[in-house]
Amino acid sequence: MVAGLGVGMLPLWRRPRDGVTVVPFHDPGVTMRAHVWTRRGRATWPPLALVLERLLDAPSVSQPRVVTS
């Protein structure tokens, strides 16, 4: 993010690094596609499993395509 090559999700309680700006979204007018990659077996780690569950419960989310390697 600091290099200007992408965006990320950060917890609000954590102070961002120098060069990173937190921009709150209030009722965004667009729908974006997100891709999530995890290491084998990590999707069941409770904190990550909760995030994945919440993402899938979002309105108008299609079923994920699961790829294993």
Least confident range of 21-25, 27-31, 37-41:
27-31
pTM, entire model: 0.39
Q: How far apart are CA 8 and CA 13, in angstroms?
A: 15
Task: Provide the residue ranges of all domains of the chain, joining segments of one domain with +.
Answer: 10-59
Contacts of 38 (CB under 8 A, 6+ apart): 48
pLDDT band of 15, cuts 50, 70, 90: confident
Tell me, what's the pLDDT at 50?
A: 86
